[in-house]
Chain A
């Protein structure tokens, strides 16, 4: 049993009591909702005659279904329009703050909460979305939940949960040029496996994470769930405080000093006890690409698709399924794999620093012939910032489409979809079968800079050659 970790401290501070089942009733400090997983929750509340207990602790936006080309209302897609109207009405009827399209604050839920300073250290955060783990970058404990649990949080501001174990994942050292946060998390997942984190919260510690910006830490924590860990976090430090200072919802004036002191006190103790420890060396991490149908099926960009005999027995069944689905042969080099579509965006890699890195690669080059490449900023604010820096012009000159904020082809609930067997280079987080909108479409996950490199070369490329 872990002791003295940030996870333990935050858990204890938010424990309302123990339920008859033995589970903990945990107070949720910030509840984020979006259009896909909330309408049924509001309907359940209505069915039971329940009210939203603390509407001021819930914030809503729209991201999954929003078109990123034409956002005029009503949306061309009737079902999407119906979902929009549902969230508008539900928020209005329950006095919930709603960041609608055009508000200047709309975007992917895991992008907007941090950028507004809503996400803070020491909070418990829940959202009906598995990538809620993102918010752990601030030293918050953030859980993805299902719709019935969204109902529970709305009705009671709490969740019934069993405590997780804590695994410390230490990465030390300096990342080589061309190696990004995305590569670090893909490397961790490929090593520990997609189920390695089940039952655990991941604490990301060590000098590599300490040197990372908040946006890089968000990329790391975002994908903790892809490693099976329901939440991941980084202890808050000066980088966290500097990021938060002055943001809309950050503590102000006298509250600020108090806040910093409180946040400091929540850091894992030097003698904290962990349930497990895994250590990596940053120098061992190459630019990493997935070749298969789970985020754990990753390899270095200069490696070959693994052969069956090189894999543990338990991974072989899935590997065979992946060779067939991806149409990649064991032993084949991943570099040089031809690409059809390039997608830069998502809550993993749709922030301003991601767009800057991709723009550096795109600048002065052009998207290869026959390739569709597009950039979807994570939020309206990211879009505005990028345009202020002229990144949109760089992308446009290089042949990338420049879009409105949303989830877009991360899960293809809007009109941005792969067609047929198309293969994409994507900065998103999931390469599951059918994830990007075509039931036979294929996805290779990689960093935004690697996606830009694939776009200009027309094939998977080691971004280090273009730096």
Chain B
């Protein structure tokens, strides 16, 4: 478990609203029992259709670690394959105008911070990245800013997830498991647990 206070790297702008998880990783690639190999398949259909023009194919963005998107990114299916595919391609953090909720939760669970910014700031950042694909930008989770060139925009993130990244507790599994006794007690107390005891 590691603290994530900032992510620095080259950025990749991906323009468009409502980019759903079926587009991030089409369903045929979910026929797998591990997440390995998903990195190569990220945005497969969008990339095939744009014939090399998709940001994830353009040479200047190869090796980028900061993804900058627009509104309602990651809507649709709950498949964690989507953030996994993005992360396996090399992305470490995402900046966007807004994210779908399940996608956001999945990103937290795998240690990939997602922050939001207003649309004017995002536009500025995306424009800058398009002009400066070789320069680095920094997402600073302590200051809640993205710094690029001489510019800086402020970004937002829920307090809960932010604390989890800063303190290195974004993988909640250990904390949850530690409460097993409490959980067992609750299971006994909830009335329906005994009504539906037939489940075994």
Contact = CB atoms under 8 A, between A and B. Distances in A.
A118 B199 contact: yes
B5 interface: no
A447 interface: no
Main secondary structure of the interface of A (DSSP, over half): loop
Contact of B48 (A19, A59, A439): A439
A259 B146 CA distance: 53
B80 A148 contact: yes
B183 A434 contact: no
B76 A413 contact: no
Contacts of A130: 76-78, 102
Contacts of A159: 176
Contact of A16 (B44, B182, B196): B182
Contacts of B131: none
Interface residues of B, number: 70
Interface string B160-185: 11011001010111011101101110
Given A20-B175, A146-B109, A434 B102 contact: no
Given A120-B192, A148-B106, A259-B192, A22 B163 contact: yes
Contacts of A39: 33-34
Contacts of B40: none
Contacts of B75: 194-195, 228, 294
Given A17-B182, A22-B160, A147-B80, A434 B45 contact: yes
A135 interface: no
A249 B31 contact: no
B163 A413 contact: no
B169 A155 contact: no
Contacts of B100: 195, 198, 228
Interface residues of A, number: 91
A50 B179 CA distance: 14
Nearest to B79: A37
Nearest to A322: B18
Q: Which of A27, A29, A123 has the most CB of B within 10 A?
A: A27
A83 B186 contact: no
A13 B190 contact: yes
Contact of A57 (B30, B78, B179, B199): B199
Interface in B3-20: 16-18, 20
A397 interface: no
A437 to B, nearest CB: 7
Q: Which of A22, A97, A122, A258 has the most CB of B within 10 A?
A: A22
Contacts of A425: none
Contacts of A13: 190
A79 interface: yes
Given A27-B187, A48-B173, A122 B16 contact: no
B142 interface: no
B195 A251 contact: yes
Contact of A37 (B80, B164, B191): B80
Contacts of A199: 101
A82 B175 CA distance: 33
A162 B190 contact: no
Nearest to A199: B101
Given A80-B31, A430-B76, A145 B102 contact: yes
Contacts of A145: 78, 102, 105
Contacts of A77: 31
Contacts of A117: 196
A244 to B, nearest CB: 11
Given A20-B167, A259-B192, A158 B71 contact: no
A200 to B, nearest CB: 9
Interface in B22-69: 22-23, 26-28, 30-35, 44-46, 48-49
Contacts of B34: 39-40, 43
Interface in A269-300: 293-294
Contacts of A314: 17, 71
Nearest to A43: B34
Interface of B: 16-18, 20, 22-23, 26-28, 30-35, 44-46, 48-49, 71-72, 75-81, 83, 98, 100-102, 105-106, 109-110, 158-161, 163-164, 167, 169, 171-173, 175-177, 179-180, 182-184, 186-187, 190-200
10 contacts: A21-B161, A21-B164, A37-B80, A64-B30, A128-B80, A148-B80, A158-B176, A162-B160, A433-B46, A435-B27
Given A79-B31, A437-B28, 8 more contacts: A14-B186, A20-B163, A53-B183, A97-B200, A155-B173, A162-B160, A413-B27, A434-B45
